[in-house]
Amino acid sequence: MSVDRTTVEVIRGALVYAAEEMGIALKKSAYSPNIKERMDHSCALFDPKRRLIAQAEHIPVHLGSMAFAVREGLSAYKGTLGPGDMILLNDPYLSGTHLPDLTLIAPIYHVDHLIGYAANKAHHTDVGGKAPGSIAGDSTELYQEGIIIPPVKFVRGGAIDPELSWLIRSNVRTPDVQMGDLRAQIAANYTGIRRVLELTEKYGAYVLHTSMEEIMDYSERRMRAAISEMPSGVYEASDYMEDVPGWGFAELRVRVTVEGGGISFDYSGTCPQVEAPINAPLGVTIAGIYYTLITVTDPTIPVNDGCFRPVTLIIPEGTMTNPRRPAPVAGGNVETSQRNVDVLMKAFSKIVPGKVTAAGLGTMNNVSVGGIRPDGTPWTFYETIGGGSGGRYNSDGVDGVHVNMTNTMNTPIESIEAYLPMRFLSYGLLPDTGGAGEYRGGCGIERSWMLTAPRATLSILAERTKINPWGLEGGEPGALGEYVIVKRNGEILKLPSKCTVQMEEEDSLIVHTPGGGGFGDPKKRAPEKINRDISNGLVSVEAALRIYGIKIL
Amino acid sequence: MFRVSVDVGGTFTDLVALNEETGKVENIKVPSVPRNPERGVTDALEIFLRGHTPEDVKIVGHATTIATNALLGQVDLEIPKIALVTTRGFRDVVEIGRQRRSEVYNLFFQRPPMLVERKLRFEVDERVEHDGRILKALDEGQLENVLDEISGLGVSSVAFSFLNSYANASHEERAFAMAKAKNASLYLTASTRVSNEYREYERTSTAVVNAALMPIIHKYLSKLEEDLRKMGVEAPLYVMQSNGGLSMAMSVAEKPVTIVESGPAAGVIAAAWLGELAGARDIISFDMGGTTAKVGTVRGRIPEIVPEYEVAGHIHMGRLVKGSGYPVRFPFVDLAECSSGGGTIAWADEGGALRIGPTSAGAYPGPACYGRGGSKPTITDANLLLGRLNPGNLLSGGMPIYPQKGREALEDLGDKVAMGTEEVATAIIRIANSMMGKILRMVSVERGYDPRGYTLVAFGGAGPMHVCALAEELEVKRIIVPSNPGMFSALGLLTADMFHDYIHPVVKRVSLVDPIEIEAAFRMMEKEGKDTLTSEGVKLRSMSFIRQFDLRYLGQAYELTVKAPDRVDAESLAATIIDFHRRHTESYGYSAEGEPVELVNLRLRAVGAIPKPDLKETNCRGKPDKIGTRRIYFETDDLWAETSIYERGGSWNSEFTGPAVIEQYDATTVIYPGWCVETDEFGDMILERVER
């Protein structure tokens, strides 16, 4: 028996809405600024076969990889999960992203019948390891990056397992914050469970599951239709990660084959895994592929398992995009994931030119800092900083924004200063950083602060300090990023893109993030746009003369 | 004496006048004049004054969408040139916002256009720390230069927003005073005067929105007051604020950021009042007009309020998309909204799926069946095909209807989604109802309120047509349809009180606060409220004050607002904390009794009570007049039923059960099978679910 289309449509909306509601519950009851202010978390629902059925639009890198975590994380628990149980994991080789992302999965039972799963992933500010914030810039193996949690039954019959809780508390720097956030993650799953059970009561499990199949089939039909419109062929592209120990520059290479309504992605030729925290676990690489595919086809296609049925993946094991244990991975989802999208976009720029932008900043500019307060309590802070997005065939890139695999918010400066020993000096757009073009790239950001505690450990994990974000169709590349510590005595220390260093009181960190690449020939840029940029101080007169060749009257 | 209220909507301007002696209400509907919204007001008032003298008008209440329309970029309401002055190093905070893109998978996303261009954002040296200490004094010489520069740029309004000013506003105040001294004709906004909470982006944004609206609203309200005086109306003009309270026109002109959602708030306030009359404490208001449906909740007679809103933002899944509009921190009557109004267009997407909205055919060309050139099928066309609307005319003969045109539009759409014409009309209604069901759930179930104990108040031109199906979906058992659903928001203006909201940031662990200081802070705000209300002519005996705390567990970022004690001491404080733990469990499924609780803000609302309208009982008849029958489709039962059509008017002393349709000038009510209808003495219809 089939279900009428209107019911399917109503159920689809209700499932997406349930996932959105999960996110609100998580954010509102969370403790760490990373979740409550920056919304570095994601929520989704899965069918009993562990296939993604609905997601809230949060952080792309989480969402694509959550399907991986749900599939892998539950394998060990086949048949042994009951109502009120929840599985916690962060092992990157099972959960798909780095250790700070804790994934919590709850089965949804209606009486004794498995209806599906609610899951969420949240980035915790600290999970132990060698540096505060657990995103050290210089790890050589996974064990340095924090506590590794295999899939464990963290919640049993509705109650947190006290022994697991102790174990985690003992391994992290700010246990109260982490436990508060875990409680919020539990609250989020309860919200998802409640909504799905309401739907089950209303329509019955049969109608619900039949609708889920139809929802996935519908997305598959639309994705196939979108792929069929692409010209068949084989398209290759490559780009590089920088400051990689043992390699210098490490290549990411992809070959995209479009044929007969299907599409394949082959990463053969990508650099072998490295002894630096920039290996991307398989879940992260897949997340980048899914993200790119959705953006270059049709963002209105409901995102679920069906979208990805036309996709074939060839990602050789032992490479930077599918490493073997125990390669370190902290920067995989934040940095390599961005380069992965750059490579994919470069390939798609040859397939669907009107749907791809020039390269955005291509890094999340991860800043982790922490130390001990005078009263002996530890503190940690983590943030990512946006920059310029790439120029587009019809409009300039956006200034000072996050692109592609992340969409976290900034933490308000007034919130940071109220709770942490940091005093901000600037937060603004950087002129002359957007790549010139008929449509210029977005401008990067300057963000700087001074340490007001005696000392702290700072980790930087970033990219695009050596290879500029590329332009398209004759557009010029965006500006490089830069990380500098100004010591109290005025001495200037230029930091490499990946490092862990000590700071002392009144040292200042100045971050300049990259701009986006330009799109099209700068000579074709409309004069009124150049003038507007000059008057707004986003392009200097000198740069305008040099690049755009205009005369100022 | 008459109390007059005027609600200016997108299509119509509604005037409701209440005769205080007789309790009789007069309704006047005139077309709105989008380019000169005050014209709608004066046109309606002119008609009213044909039968009355200007001295008969005691007060004028007003709801307006002018602020929203200006921010949405309506022609002729262009945002004026404004400037912003910030702490050195931070002029771009307002542009970067929360550094997030509003649509994750859309590479072609845009920021909303900046209300203040970068070249008009200036920086001065000054720095206040988070605890209010001054780290660097305000450089007045620099500020002087900045003000000089601004005066040569044709700027009409200036906002000041300094970092951490919520902890110490002295630099902002000094800058404000210097600017005022320099040029008394400039409109000025200090961020802490419109929002004194932490989070620099949201506070600055609120200040900038205020600065952008000031010249427009000031001009509009001055013109309106002037026009009223010219007509001889000397009565005071009050404007509905987004928080559901009225304020004097000239106070609003200083703080226009308070009236952004003026119009929709009036509807919720009206529903709260009607519910009280009908003895219903807990209400869901359901307002379905031409372009959107809006819902809100009233619990224990008090409309639900949110502390922040993004104005002119996009709506997705019934919620505002973060980063798509301009954040404004001011209490807003909490409305959920979806693009499901009578004029909302149904269409087929690339995958052959049926979609509804967000585009609306608006008042012009309107639904296909209006025969004004619209060819796209709307919710109204679907309702017409299914027999719910009068196929001859609407507005009591005021508007002819062309059913064939509506049918053709639906047929075309049916071809695209492989459905028959009736099937597609039914599907449109079901999808629209599911969208509206979702927003109704958002304001009820999602907040942990069981809708089964609530009363739905349905209004707007289309609300009473859909309300039974929605009540079925939410298992609501009682519905009220006011006597003039299409004029109900205007009536709401006559029922509102005067409000002024104050906030005092504390941000301290409860265990460390001194109850004496808290009590003193509340009293200080009460005095301010009392002074303002007094200046607006409110008598002391009509004033009351509502105290609230914003509380959270230390470390959280979002607060729960709970009732604060009328007299704060150690004991009452402790009791409030117990209440907070309970509320947290209700909201999030857990509480953490052992953990420290932080007192973030004190909130005070000063209320100036305004006497509620004393409505006159209507003429009572046995039953409404039956004017015919029609075949009507009821999707809840999947049946076409030959249904009696009645003409509404007055009250009646017998009850009858659906199916039935009750037509009137400004709305059509569809009573579904299984629903029983009667009226109260004022002519409001009460629908109750009966066993079948």
Closest among A61, A38, A66, A9 to A192, alpha carbons compared: A66
CA distances from B308 to B92, B203, B296, B325, B602 (A): 21, 10, 15, 12, 16
Cβ atoms < 10 Å from Cβ of B540: 9
Task: Mark whether B297 and B368 lie in a shared domain.
Answer: yes
Whether residues B87 and B182 share a domain: the answer is yes
What is the predicted pLDDT for the residue at B611? 79
Q: How far is B85 from chain A (nearest CA, A)?
A: 14
Q: Is residue B83 within 8 Å of residue B153, measured between CB atoms?
A: yes
Residue B46 within any structural domain of the chain: yes
CA dihedral over B242, B246, B250, B255, signed as positive or negative:
negative
Q: Given this model, what pLDDT does residue B303 score?
A: 87
Give residues 138 to 177 of B whose Cβ lies within 8 Å of A.
163-164, 166
Residue A111 CB-half CA count within 13 A: 5
Q: What values do phi and psi take at A500, rounded to 5?
A: -130, 120
Residues A539, B367: Cα–Cα separation, whole Å = 48
Question: Given A60, A183, A400, which is nearest B96 (Cβ)?
Answer: A400
Q: Are residues B532 and B663 in the same domain?
A: no
- B685-689 and A366-372: which strand pairing? unpaired
B312 falls within a domain: yes
Q: How many other C-beta atoms are found inside a 10 Å radius of the C-beta of residue B592?
A: 20
The pTM of the full predicted model, rounded to 2 decimals, is 0.87
Residue B380, domain member (yes or no): yes
Rounded to an integer, what is the distance from CA A161 to the centroid of its chain? 30
Are residues B486 and B507 located together in one domain of the fold? no
Q: Is B342 helix (H, G, I), strand (E, B) or coil?
A: coil
Whether residue B468 is found in the same domain as residue B555:
no
- The domain boundary, picked from B164, B197, B217, lies at B217
Apex B437 CA angle, B433 and B438, nearest 5 = 120
By the 10 Å C-beta count (0-12 exposed, 13-18 middle, 19+ buried), A17 is classed as buried
18-47 of A, contacting B, C-beta below 8 A: 20-21, 25, 27-33, 36-37
Cα A430 to Cα A511: distance, rounded to the nearest angstrom? 11
The pLDDT, as a whole number, for residue A34 is 66
Residue with tokens 């979806």: B338
**Domain that residue B583 falls in:** 498-608
Q: Where are the alpha helices (DSSP H) in B153-289?
A: 170-182, 191-194, 200-230, 249-254, 262-277
Domain containing residue B559: CATH number = 3.30.1490
Is the ipTM above a cut-off of 0.85?
yes
Cα first-last separation, chain B: 48
Quick count: other Cβ atoms within 10 Å of Cβ B404?
12
Q: How far is B101 from chain A (nearest CA, A)?
A: 7
Q: What is residue B310's predicted lDDT score, i.e. its pLDDT? A: 82
B95 plus B168 within the same structural domain: yes
Whether B108 contacts chain A with CB within 8 A: yes
Selected for mutation to probe chain A from B90, B93, B95, B96 (highest A CB count within 10 Å) is: B96
Domain of residue B30, CATH code: 3.30.420.40
Say how many domains are in chain B: 5
N-terminal to C-terminal alpha carbon distance within chain A? 75
Residue B100 and residue B181 in one domain: yes
Indicate if B128 and B23 belong to the same structural domain: no
* B105: contact with A, CB 8 A cutoff: yes
The answer to whether the CB atoms of B317 and A33 lie below 8 A apart is no
Query: Is the residue at B70 inside a domain?
Result: no
Beta bridge partners of B187: B157
Q: Are residues B23 and B131 in the same domain?
A: no
Residues A244 and A250: beta-carbon distance below 8 Å: yes
Closest CA to B618 of B482, B463, B486, B494: B482
CATH number at residue B365: 3.30.420
- Do B503 and B492 lie in one domain? The reply is no
The segments of chain B whose pLDDT lies below 50 read none
Measured between CB atoms, which of A16, A186, A407 is closest to B101? A407
**Residue where one domain finishes, among candidates B496, B520, B543:** B496
Please name which of B178, B194, B227 lies closest in space to residue B40, comparing C-alpha atoms.
Answer: B227
From first to last of its 553 residues, chain A has per-residue pLDDT tens of: 678 776 787 788 789 888 988 988 888 877 776 676 666 788 999 999 999 999 886 777 777 788 889 998 898 888 789 999 999 999 999 998 999 999 999 999 998 899 999 999 999 989 999 988 898 888 999 999 999 999 999 999 999 999 999 999 999 998 988 998 999 999 999 999 998 998 999 889 999 999 999 999 999 999 999 999 999 999 999 999 999 988 999 999 999 999 988 999 999 999 999 999 999 999 999 999 999 999 999 888 888 999 999 999 999 999 999 999 999 999 998 999 999 999 999 999 999 998 999 999 999 999 999 999 888 888 989 899 999 999 999 999 999 999 999 888 899 999 999 889 999 999 999 999 999 999 999 999 999 999 999 999 999 999 999 999 999 999 999 999 999 999 999 999 999 999 999 999 999 999 999 999 999 999 999 999 999 999 999 999 999 988 887 765 4
Q: Do B110 and A403 touch (CB under 8 A)?
A: no
pLDDT at position B445 is: 63
Q: Which residues of B touch A410 (CB under 8 A)?
A: 96, 98-99
| Sheet containing B543-553: order of strands | B25-31, B12-19, B2-8, B57-63, B237-240, B246-248, B498-509, B597-608, B543-553, B560-563
- Say whether residue B553 is in contact with chain A using an 8 A CB cutoff: yes
Interchain proximity B587–A28, CB inside 8 Å: yes
Mark which residues 568-597 of B lie under 8 Å from A by CB.
584, 587-590, 592, 595
Q: Tell which residue, A418, A411, A39, A537, has the closest CA to residue B202.
A: A411
B137 touches chain A (CB under 8 A): no
pLDDT of residue A57: 67
Q: Report the C-alpha gap between A135 and A124 in whole angstroms.
A: 11
Pick the residue of B81, B94, B104, B108 with the most A CBs within 10 A to test the interface with A by mutation.
Answer: B104
What is the domain partition of chain A in residue ranges?
5-219, 357-553
Set of chain B residues whose Cβ sits within 8 Å of the Cβ of A5: 353-354, 427
Q: Min CA distance, B8 vs chain A (Å)? A: 33
Same-domain check for residues B454 and B507? no
> In angstroms, rounded to a whole number, what is the distance separating the alpha carbons of residues B263 and A21?
28
CA atoms of A181 and A123, how far apart (whole Å) = 9
> Which residues in chain B have Cβ-Cβ distances shorter than 8 Å to A447?
none
d(CA B395, CA B393): 7
- Give the pLDDT score at B74: 66
Q: CB–CB of A50/A216 below 8 Å? A: no
Asked if A216 reaches chain B (Cβ–Cβ under 8 Å), the answer is no
Do A400 and A418 meet the contact criterion of CB atoms below 8 Å apart? no
* Joined tokens for residue B290: 């031409």
A206: DSSP letter? H
Q: B25: alpha, beta or left, given left = phi > 0 and alpha = psi -120 to 50?
A: beta
Residues B484 and B508 in one domain: no
